[in-house]
Structure 1
Amino acid sequence: MKYRVHCHIDQSSYQTVTFILFLLLLLPQLLCNVLVATCKINDRRPRNPKYFQPGDLIIGGIISMFYTFAHPVNFNEHPADEILDDLVHFLVRWTYLASIELLSTQRRVIPNYKCDMQDNTVAVIGGPNSNVCLSMATILSFYKLPQIGYGSSPVMKDEIQRVLFQQMFPNKDLQYNGILQVLLFFNWTWIGVIFISGDSGERFVQTVLPMFSQEGICFDFIEMLPFLYLITSITDMMAKWIEACNVVLNSTANVVLVHGEIHTMIFLRMLPQVSEVEDIPMRTKSKIWIMTAQMEFTSMPFQRKWDIDIIHGAISFAPHSKEVLGFQKFLQMRTLASEKEDGFIRDFWQQAFGCFLPTSMTENKAEPVCFGKERLEDLPGSVFEMTMNSHSYSIYNAVYAVAHALQSMHSSQWKHNTIMEGKRWKFVSQQLWQLHRYLRNMSFNNSANEKISFDKNGRIEAGFDIINWVTFSNHSFLRVKVGKTDSITVRDKMLSIFVDTIVWPKIFNQTQPLSLCTQDCHSGFRRAEKEGKPFCCYDCISCPEGKISRQKDLYHCHQCPEDHYPNKDKDGCLPKYISFLSYEDPLGITLATIAIFLSSITALVFGVFIKYKDTPLVKANNQHLTFTLLISLLLSFLCVFLFVGQPRKMTCLLQQPAFGLIFSVAVSCVLAKTIIVVLSFMATKPGSRMRKWLGKGLANVILLSSSLIQGIICTTWLATFPPFPELDMQSMSEEIILQCNEGSTTMFYCVVGFLGFLSLVSFTVAFLARKLPDSFNEAKFITFSMVIFCSIWLSFFPAYQSTKGKYMVAVEMFSILTSSAGLLGCIFSPKCYIILMRPELNNKHQLMKRNNQ
């Protein structure tokens, strides 16, 4: 469209651009709420709405206002008929036609031909979609005509097009970073994405969404909507829209990012209808729509009475804007009577108020007649907004930018080439193409007291507002600013948002919504990825033993320090306590008490044997071995006290060698007694030579040789790898074990192994001598005692290996006590019984009598 504007550029108030400014501001309001159709004329040529005002300089506007479904030209009919039906003003060919009209003589569209001197188009404002701006630039750049785009900014590859094109849309990267920061701020990591097919949408998917993924955002779906115009038929396009609706409605993501254009709102408003038709649960009311700044509130005429609750609680980005004083008052004054010369307003009036304007050619219609006194402020917000939106604010600034650039150019370069004629002026030298240099360098304060300037790439230097949409039952809505993105702050500090002012969709009961594929893995748990699922879909499993996680959503748990252990919830570390078998421990007290009791019993037995040392029973089978065995058993009971209490260097050195030597003496005594029993029986036979082996000599040899071998093993152990006290922080999860390190496990098992060898030999000999006559048959008791002794120490090895800390020490103490008690009880209890309870049997006559029998 064109506007002829008579501008007194040298006046600072710029009052002469008021009409063009407000009319251009009004058009986005109409576009964002009501979409209307054009008409046919008799000469079979489409008549596009044209709006002119008198003036020497023209600010052109190429703005898509209509959206109807139509088929592409296929040349099966007369082209004029097909074009008449094709009213999709977002199409490229309509933008090309409008661009050529701006360069041609009024009402005579002839490329590269212009016969009048008045229609001087100095700049063109275009939008709102990126394809409109791009198509406009393709034509106008050839003529070096400055252009200003609002709404969605295109990506221009041609250098000339970039130089001549100014963008009232801030840097897109700032918007995408802002969206990312909003998602991260609310921890919305599971989202859906809708985008419009085309270069802009595909570039968004290929370049922006990977950046989102790197920051931890993953996608339930990425759904493409078809082009605004049709490739085949309306049926095919609607089928694709319904398919996309089904994907959205069945999604588990509560947040859906909509990367669309100005008409995408039509699609959103279709979702509730599709939900009813397809019998899908109404999940759209549980969606948080995040809309890009390219979008606006648009609708089709048949959507006028549709519910708008779907956008309640939505969050959108919009180029920063402020309310311009006087704009709302201007709208309140607009009536049909005040716009008689504006054909577009007539069409809008009929669509907006649901009435018709009678003409001489009008047939009787069912709709009421428009009286022309209807007021815009009476329309619901879904039909017409009375406030200035971001697109209107962009056009407002664009018009004043052109006016300021003209003023600057007039005051400098063209001052001497200008002839003033009263309040009108014209340029003798047609060099208006140079205006773009002044336009790009323009900086001024608008009437809202905001600075308007462009960066080196021709983009306006501004940030984005974050808008919260609030709807009402009367089909009206409010856009509430709840935050903004700063254009100069670093990315992680660019966002400021006021959470308390945000109104969420009603289903969330004003509680901040969540949008996660999996609920947070709390501290004490870690993430485990699900095969075939996006990275933000995972299982939460408890940290393994000994590890913790202090934060949410960690993929790995961390090990506690050596001297700490995880608490019950595995979200923190507690200091380990030092553990050893102490006298305060119930187990330590119990074993020490048993050791004292058995030591006392052994001492009593030893006392009895001392008292009755001259009796035949005590003298039998080598009295000295009996006393040595009792002393070694007493010492074995007492040596367990080396294992109780805090391990120290000396106690660690004495523990195992003392145990090994004492038990070697005890088992050696048992072995010697068994061998003497056998030899004694053999010596009673006539002519036997075994008498010379009897006596103290053989017993001493057996005792000393066995003890010497064990002593050599222990000495070697202490000389090479002596035991030492250590802190074991690994074996127990909650304890630091203070224990005696054996130094050499091999040497320890050598000591125990030699004891096992002596025990096995003693058991074998005793077993063979078990049927000797009763008077000499101590071998029976020795056999039984060695069975107990060997069983205990064979069980000792698996038990010792399977326990840790103080329980390992307790196992060894228990084995020492029980094996010693077995020897004491099996060998000496029968003798004590005879000595104390049956003294009449403790005489030589009785022994000889029993032997003869």
Structure 2
Amino acid sequence: MEYIFTLLHVVMAIINFYSTNGTLCSLQGEPSYPKLSKDGDIIVGGIFPFHRTWENTDMSYMVKPSPLDCISVDFRTFQFSQSLIFAIEEINNSSSLLPGVLLGYKIYDTCTSTAMGVRMAMALVNGNENSTLNEPCSKPISHYSTCECLSDKSKYPSFLRTIPSDYYQSRALAEMVKEFGWTWVGAIRRDDDYGNSGMAAFTEAAEQLGICLEYSFSFFRTYSQEKVLRIIQHIKSSTSRVIVAFVTYNDLEILLNVFYEHNITGYQWVGTEGWISDSTVARLDKHKILQGAIGLAIPNTTVTGLKEFILDIYPLKTAGSAIFTEFWEALFNCKFTVQNDLVDTTVCTGQEKLSGIENAFTDLSLMPIFTNVYKAVYAVAHTLHDLLGCKQTCSTKKQPDPLTPICCFDYSIKCEQCYEDYWSNQYRNECVKKEIEFLSYEETMGILLTAVSIIGAFMTIIIAIIFFKFKNTPIVKANNSELSFLLLFSLALCFLCSLTFIGQPSEWSCVLRHTAFGITFVLCISCVLGKTIVVLMAFRATLPGSNVMKWFGPPQQRLSVLAFTLIQVLICVVWLTTSPPFPFKNLKHYKEKIILECQLGSAIGFWAVLGYIGLLALLCFVLAFLARKLPDKFNEAKFITFSMLIFCAVWITFIPAYVSSPGKFTVAVEIFAILASSFGLLFCIFLPKCYIIIHKPEMNTKKQIMGKVPVK
């Protein structure tokens, strides 16, 4: 953001420490004085825009320009300054952090002027607010602490961050735009380091992700009306409907008014943390131009007592009377000194209460940002604490300066490689056992999958009991009871074989899980294929002079099921003989934990098992599809078609999910595919028959099955 993460955080790291001695450069021009201040042993500096703008002055370049006349108090800034003061007061009252050291502060007003902000920073870094002609100041000063450019240590060797650079936010915005499928967008950026550097990083990331920028305009609130009008005309004539805005809420207020004046609506806005979560923007957007805007926000955190301190404005009175008076008058819309011509002006008593007032100052929706100010002060305090507590531990040829202490460190580091099953701890001084991961019966996912497997097997047994009880009824006989019972038996095995995938992998479980899965599923599909062929043969047997059923009677049906299954058994035997599955410790997927899994051994064997199942399923589907137009009373082929559609869909989606799933989720995906396809077969083929047997016994007659009863 323009000032929260920029002027403040840089200058707070610039500390006027024992600066009374030594020669420092001085500033030229008018003296600069802090708006809020408090004496202390060490002074922490803060720079905030207490005003949102300034009155224009005549810049003739013939005479020295007069100082800026700042106007329009910004309540947000007072909240930020309160956060800084709160942190300093809390540190001063601490017995463990900087004991015996009193922190003070000097907080300056930039008037939202970059030039003024640089001047204030120079005043703080040199420990001198007075104006004298001396050697020029040469220290590189930054006024944007989130700018990626400050990461260049060759230019800014002493710069330290208290918050990540905008490089990360820019890439995150690009990835978010890509996630929503917006590949043709426009962009508006604030014309300064915050906007230009951030948008440059966004553009680079966008190009890598295949996102094209139709336009990228810079904007600043001091732009002339003609320049702003040109930007508006370009946006109106563009075809992209997404606008990425790397601006602050101050800029957005002007943009919203201009967009409303030119009736520009219907755009999808994507925003930075500089405005997306600011409730002030929501109040400014009276015409719903930003409706549906999305962006990135700072995570919410809580600091005990900070909210109450921010709203307690009386301590500001002792810190700076002039700015406090202006702030108080703007907050309560009154005047301490009323001129005679201002008859309707309310007189300030100094005892006004915040209760009942709703404005930007009482709105604490930006508490996460206030907390960042708080944490930045603590970062400086901890640095000072370590610095002051540092003792000289090594000899030097030159007598050190007794005044900002010298620390010497002698590191004797011996690095040792941890064993494969171990991982270094967070301090990098000890090897700890890696966490072992596998799909166990004790975890939630394992328990759920086990429960579903058992439920599926139990339902299969219940259906088998129903079929056995009504085995002499026409609907059971007509659907080939022998193949039906064999199919139910194989389905029960399919449900139960999924249990072999759960638990710690071992040699026997790795071999059993894949072979049991492959053989039981082929047995299952072979039964379905046999039923499909029976349907086709039975229909042709009803034609005059046809004796086709003698070629596919019960003996041939059993033989076909046995033959199809033996082929899969042969594939599994070859697989287990040449290169069987085995338990394996996967140390590459995660560095900090070990994944116990079953290595396939021969990938060809695994895919051969799956491929043979798929081939039988496809053949069964084709035959059932050809028989789908048989008379409605004999609709077994339709049920088989539906079941095979589900079966094929599950296993087609299984392949990419299986390849891309990490660790124990690979096993979970395989179990899910087994259960889903088993339930598909069970429900599509057997539930309609169970419904007729139990709830529609009048339809369970030979005449109904043969279709000899006229349809009502």
Shorter-chain TM range is: 0.3 to 0.5
Q: Which has the larger radius of gyration?
A: 1
